[in-house]
With several copies, the nearest count.
Chain A
Amino acid sequence: MTTMTMIEAIRSTIRQEILRDEKVMVLGQDIGKLGGVFRATEGLQAEFGEDRIVDMPLAEASIVGSAVGLSLSGLNPIAEIQFLGFAQQAYHQIVPQLARFRFRSQGRYSTGVTIRAPFGGGVRAPELHSDAIESQFTSVPGLQVVLPSTPADAKGLLTTAIRSEDPVLFCEPLKGYRLVKGDVPDDDYSIPFGELRIAREGTDVTLFAWSAAVQLAEKAAESLASEGISAQVVDLRTLVPLDVDGIREVVSATGRAVVIHEAPLTSGYGAEVVSTIQEEAFYSLEAPVARVAAPDVPYPNIGIEEVFIPNVDRVVSAVREVVSAE
């Protein structure tokens, strides 16, 4: 075990996979000499050369689209999109192309591309850099959508993503890059997709979250503990595939749930989680499942981002309501 920040865990995992498999390569904007705007690939071009760590022209659709082709040629590309918001420029290459190559070819081809992209607010970034748009991608059959919240999970899930034959959108929490630290296994370490993680035990209510909202949920749980409410925190980790059975199990135990995410409420992935909960555990529910999300507005300029992002107060009051409902 080594204590690492999120970004260190990601960098070392990429390096480990490059060392493991000569087919692995990385492409993206500014990932070479600069090492990426967040240094996820720092030092890697010097170590592995310009053919393995490739600075691409500024065109997201061709980063993803050429990664599809590289993958068809037998290589295993990791594509970095500088900020998730700019994955929208590549949307037509991700959704109707990358995600369905296996299906379209009825299994003749697979495109195991891993797309990495940071997102999430609270870091005073310019427009479009912070937007939590994961639910733009969760309705896409064939695409796995993975959002780690801790360095260890980042390693375990990124390893699985890179080794998977399937395309993965791997969304990294910008705010956690340097802030979130934790112990990371030194050896080969992979975590299967579709298994939620219980981040904190609790018996009165289950808080569902992913990415940076996990730390928010943990803070809220801490605060709730002081008023005698025992909140379980569940990190979904992979939104697609979703751990349907795990969700049923945890909700059945507490009977109450709150889903927390940074994206706006309407049609955020929280809606899928709520629907799944009520499909799987309706008769265990003692109160409606609450959603704590950003309001239905675009991510604002930095001066008021704190008004936009869900905070501990909002989580705590939602939980209080859910817990007191009968």
Chain B
Amino acid sequence: MLRREILRPDGSISGDSGPVLSIQETLDALERMLLSKRIDERAFSLQRQGRMGTYSAVRGQEASVVGSSLALDPSVDWIVPQYRELPALLRHGLSIEGFLSYWKGNSEAARIPDGVKVLPPQIGLAAQLPHAVGLAWGLQLQGDPGAVMTFIGDGGSSEGDFHESLNLAGVMKAPVVFLLQNNGWAISTPRSKQSAADTFASRGEGYGVPSILVDGNDLFAVSAAAREAVGRAKSGEGPTLIESQTYRLGAHNTADDPSKYVDSGEKLQWEELDPIPRVISYLRARDAITDAEIDDIEARNEAEVARAVDVLDTIGPASAETLFDHVSSTMSIRLRRQRDQILKGASR
């Protein structure tokens, strides 16, 4: 299967492709990518200081996440995330502090605001996929114009839920886009041990689901693929599987030590393919950005992250009540008694 590539590592545009995004859109995307990177750095240091729980960085996958999200209209479309899609969620309406609250340990503060069409992070790998299919299918049944984009990793793609979901989406022609971020790793397990398939995109055919293979570090190629897929979904033609080939440049999460298993040569190669510099090179080559403007972006992002972290620092643990309030629509007698007893003890 041909891998779609538009924006070359050196920032030039390949062959006959026109640019997919306007300069302004590209600048905007770059700002989101840099913001993501900044948040990653900050979250890692917060975790090291004990101000944050386990955190999984997007680093290296910014083009894949930001590029795909650009195809979505936050007012009608939905994102069904795994856990490594921060900048897509921010674009869709989450706040940085809202997202980080979850990983800090306060689900109440992390509650998805009403109207924001995003589901909570998913820890059970691939378990989100049938939800995405059902949601998309349900929107379609009700004549809702929205499409659903859901994310899954190379590792998660080995779960049975992946299969059942793609197959069902194909049968129901559900308006859903499966964005498979193949970032080379599932914690320490390399892509080569995850599957003997040449590509994950080749799985689409076995479900009657069109698929696209794309350079995941190429903002333009990812955006174009996602637009095509979302367009297909919205015109009633059903699901698409996109394999976005990218690379996790950092650790799996704050608890991981990749030096145990990552080959430094491979990592170096992928650092050459970092998705952010090539967007900058592209813009520079068009005189669309200056060093000062980059500094401005970084400063804005820095200020935004500082603001968010200030808010985050004021967010303690959720109240003890939230342990009981949202289990069911009504509280059982037994749970009410358990609650009363525990809260009495807690407030002693």
Q: Which residue of B has the minimal Cβ distance to A68?
A: B131
Cα-based distance from A30 to B325 in the complex (angstroms):
37
- B residues within 8 A CB of A124? 53-54, 105
Cα-based distance from A294 to B317 in the complex (angstroms):
18
Identify the stretch in A50-58, A149-157, A175-183, A217-225 within 8 Å (CB) of chain B at 4 or more residues. A50-58
What is the total number of residues of chain A having a CB less than 8 Å from a CB of chain B?
A: 81
Q: Which residue of B has the minimal Cβ distance to A264?
A: B338
Q: Which of A97, A142, A144, A240 has the most CB of B within 10 A?
A: A97
Is A105 part of the binding interface, using a Cβ–Cβ cutoff of 8 Å? yes
**Candidates B139, B186, B332, B342; contact of A73 at CB < 8 Å:** B139
- A residues within 8 A CB of B14? none
Cα-based distance from A265 to B334 in the complex (angstroms):
10
Identify the stretch in A10-18, A204-212, A298-306 within 8 Å (CB) of chain B at 4 or more residues. A298-306
Is A128 part of the binding interface, using a Cβ–Cβ cutoff of 8 Å? yes
- B residues within 8 A CB of A298? 327
Q: Mark B115-141, 1 if CB is under 8 A from A, else 0.
A: 000011001110101111111111101
- A residues within 8 A CB of B106? 301, 303
Q: Which residue of B has the minimal Cβ distance to A192?
A: B330
Asked whether B328 lies within 8 Å of A144 as measured between CB atoms, the reply is yes
Is B303 part of the binding interface, using a Cβ–Cβ cutoff of 8 Å? no
Cα-based distance from A64 to B133 in the complex (angstroms):
11
Given A72-B134, A107-B326, verify A96-B107 contact (CB < 8 Å).
no
Asked whether A97 lies within 8 Å of B127 as measured between CB atoms, the reply is yes
**Candidates A30, A34, A66, A129; contact of B130 at CB < 8 Å:** A66
Asked whether B168 lies within 8 Å of A66 as measured between CB atoms, the reply is yes
Is B281 part of the binding interface, using a Cβ–Cβ cutoff of 8 Å? no
What is the total number of residues of chain B having a CB less than 8 Å from a CB of chain A?
A: 78
Asked whether B134 lies within 8 Å of A166 as measured between CB atoms, the reply is no
Cα-based distance from A243 to B124 in the complex (angstroms):
33
- B residues within 8 A CB of A55? 188-189, 193
Is B268 part of the binding interface, using a Cβ–Cβ cutoff of 8 Å? no
Q: Which residue of A has the minimal Cβ distance to B148?
A: A69
Q: Which residue of A has the minimal Cβ distance to B186?
A: A58
Is A108 part of the binding interface, using a Cβ–Cβ cutoff of 8 Å? yes
Asked whether A104 lies within 8 Å of B134 as measured between CB atoms, the reply is no
Smallest CB–CB gap between B174 and chain A, Å? 9
Q: Mark A51-79, 1 if CB is under 8 A from B, else 0.
A: 10001111111101111111111110100
- A residues within 8 A CB of B159? 58-60, 89
Is A308 part of the binding interface, using a Cβ–Cβ cutoff of 8 Å? yes
**A-B interface contact total, Cβ < 8 Å:** 253
Cα-based distance from A193 to B102 in the complex (angstroms):
33
Is A33 part of the binding interface, using a Cβ–Cβ cutoff of 8 Å? yes
**Candidates A70, A72, A296, A314; contact of B332 at CB < 8 Å:** A296
Cα-based distance from A304 to B324 in the complex (angstroms):
11
- B residues within 8 A CB of A57? 155, 158, 164, 167-168, 171, 189, 193-195
The B-contacting residues of A in range 140-167, CB under 8 angstroms, are 141-142, 144, 164-166
Smallest CB–CB gap between A313 and chain B, Å? 6
Is A194 part of the binding interface, using a Cβ–Cβ cutoff of 8 Å? yes
- A residues within 8 A CB of B156? 58
Cα-based distance from A71 to B345 in the complex (angstroms):
37
**Candidates B53, B119, B189; contact of A109 at CB < 8 Å:** B119
- A residues within 8 A CB of B326? 102-103, 105-107
Is B320 part of the binding interface, using a Cβ–Cβ cutoff of 8 Å? yes
- A residues within 8 A CB of B164? 57, 59, 61-62, 65
Asked whether B161 lies within 8 Å of A105 as measured between CB atoms, the reply is no
List the interface of chain B (C-beta within 8 A of A).
53-54, 102, 104-108, 110-112, 114, 119-120, 123-125, 127, 129-139, 141-142, 144, 155-156, 158-161, 163-165, 167-168, 171, 186-189, 193-195, 255, 260-261, 316-320, 322-330, 332-335, 338-339, 342, 345-346, 348
Q: List 10 A-B contacts (CB under 8 A).
A: A34-B261, A51-B141, A62-B130, A67-B134, A70-B134, A96-B124, A126-B53, A296-B334, A297-B327, A302-B105
7 interchain residue pairs of minimum CB distance: A69-B134, A65-B130, A73-B138, A303-B317, A66-B134, A303-B105, A62-B164
Known: A62-B158, A109-B119. 12 other contacts (CB 8 A): A33-B188, A65-B127, A70-B138, A73-B134, A93-B130, A106-B107, A106-B111, A107-B111, A141-B327, A242-B334, A301-B106, A303-B107
